[in-house]
Amino acid sequence: MGVYVNSVLLKDEHLVFATGIHWIVFVPGLAVLLAGLFLMMSWGGYGPSLFGNPDVDAVARMFSYVPLMIFGVGILLLGTAYISRISTELAVTNRRVIAKFGFISRTTYELFLNKVEGANVDQTIFGRIFNYGSVLVKGTGSGLSPIHKIAYPLKFQRHLLDQIERYQEGPSDRASRND
């Protein structure tokens, strides 16, 4: 997984499952980018070439840049999605749940398993089809804020609940379970 999770592992702690933001976050930016590209190709004669034409009024010149602006917004949305995807880490270890967000500034949540009450998963129809959703880890007193568009949310929940169960078992129960 990511650099942050590996850098904060405690003694005798190991990574059980790690996930991040699903690739679906690129879809809105890609749709806007393709719409801008389509408009640029279909409108033809946009941009600086209109300035030399005396038959084109100022309003037409102004609207000729709309496809280019839409294309630019698509690039910005894709860039934002990329940064969000590479800067979010979510992991379950044998002792904690770890979540890290942020690229320049960083926000982290680390919740020990003995403080976790459970995890909720919320998936839309598309989330079920493409295997992404929102995860909310409930802790005693507080919990992690919902993390949206997580890849493999049910797998994350299953690993978390399995680790909670293992943590709550006594050492003799763990030894007999591993046999």
Tell me the mean pLDDT in the region 80-91.
94
Question: Which is it for strands 89-93 and 96-101: parallel, antiparallel or unpaired?
Answer: antiparallel
Residue 20 scores a pLDDT above 90: yes
Query: Tokens 């999605």 identify what position?
Result: 81
69-85 residue pLDDT tens? 999 999 999 999 999 99
Residue 171 scores a pLDDT above 90: no
Local confidence band at 146 (pLDDT 50, 70, 90 cut-offs): confident
Domains of the chain: which residue ranges?
27-82
Query: Tokens 């003995």 identify what position?
Result: 114
d(CA 112, CA 95): 6
In this prediction, residue 66 carries a pLDDT of: 84
Cα end-to-end span (Å), the chain: 29
d(CA 27, CA 29): 6
